[in-house]
Structure 1
């Protein structure tokens, strides 16, 4: 449990808060475990609290207008979610699913509401989280708008790699999931990933991908 909390203190939104603020935010929370494939919460659920990913990976999916859900992002440790519905008492806008075994630090909504009620300055800290997640959403949209398929894949991998605890580590992302998140066909992704690997920019493993040279991959994508 201590290792998960230490990571959240060092990486992601919480790391930008003062040690005192971190203590106040984390107080009253608990670590929860989810098995691979288990749902953390679904679109339309009521908000019950804030979630900080301490270990493992989760995917984030959104519904479309024809009634299905589309996976748009795979999050790594240091990622926090649940902020938009937290104080507005609205329903969840996304579905979050564990794609590996994960540990998530959960802070219940009543505790957070009381924290802000007792010290309104704390609201600024949660607005900062909403800003972080809005930046993430805009980045996803901007990358999906890249018309060149190879550059779109490169941009996606560069971003996800950049927010890892240790950039350059393996991304537990199979190519079929990468295809979904970049809105490309699996054969297209397979062909282009193989090409990027042949250029020495990424490395392909079983169900995972690693950015070998982020600077070179960024230069290649910008050409």
Structure 2
């Protein structure tokens, strides 16, 4: 049995993968690489360039807090495979977490470069990766070039939600977003002072708490509602 055939047998029961067009399934199977990570070793490192999409087949991943390297915490049992890392396809930012193997971990890794090439050649595939991320955010995810079409407050709320919820159920221990990540004009197309005004309003509403260098998300449900727009309807 070839690796591609074996992986397809593992992925056949995965809701996201099984709904993909056959051509996209074949393309992903072609570029995926199996990776085994021993306990305590990094899967990826904070601050390093985006490195693609991962499917967790066995074991558990622990994500460190950005500000205060948290202790290892057991992860809830997840349906396998569990996909993570797709947020980097949308923001092209360095990794915002350290990701460590808790116990022996088996992953399928889809490197960033071939994924980006695939999306350049087949831009209609964006919607499928948007669906993958959208299930974690609870909102539909527009293609990156449409984000700037959203009104200011919704745009800021969506960016905060993406930064805080991008790893879904795998990362419920921290809701801390570095200020410099939300103030990035390249990401939002907004002046820093405009973003700061929106953040101050969200703080007054009890959605978040701002500090000098970090934003603490206090209420993700209200943040999700603040991000609602015609481009980002709720996902049932």
Q: TM-score scaled by structure 2?
A: 0.50
Structure 1 position 27, deviation (Å): 1.8
The 2-side partners of 1:86 and 1:134 are apart by: 15
Corresponding residue number in structure 2 for 1:22? 25
Structure 1 position 69, deviation (Å): 3.6
Corresponding residue number in structure 1 for 2:14? 11
Corresponding residue number in structure 1 for 2:44? 41
Alignment of 1:142-153 (within 5 A): none
Query: Which runs of no fewer than 5 residues in structure 2 stay unpaired?
Result: 139-163, 174-236
Query: Which runs of no fewer than 5 residues in structure 1 stay unpaired?
Result: 145-223
SS at match of 2:123: coil
How many residue pairs match? The answer is 140
Corresponding residue number in structure 1 for 2:133? 130
Structure 1 position 113, deviation (Å): 0.7
The 2-side partners of 1:137 and 1:73 are apart by: 16
Tell me, yes or no, if structure 1 residue 53 matches structure 2 residue 60: no
Deviations along 1:61-113, one digit per CA (max 9) or x if unpaired, are: 3324xx33465955643111111123432011222211121111111111011
- 2:20 touches 2:128 (CA, 8 Å); kept in 1? yes
Corresponding residue number in structure 1 for 2:82? 79
- 1:58 touches 1:75 (CA, 8 Å); kept in 2? no
- 2:51 touches 2:112 (CA, 8 Å); kept in 1? yes
Using the TM superposition, name which of 125-134 and 108-117 deviates more.
Answer: 125-134
Deviations along 1:8-54, one digit per CA (max 9) or x if unpaired, are: 33225323323332212222221011112211012222112111112
Corresponding residue number in structure 2 for 1:92? 95
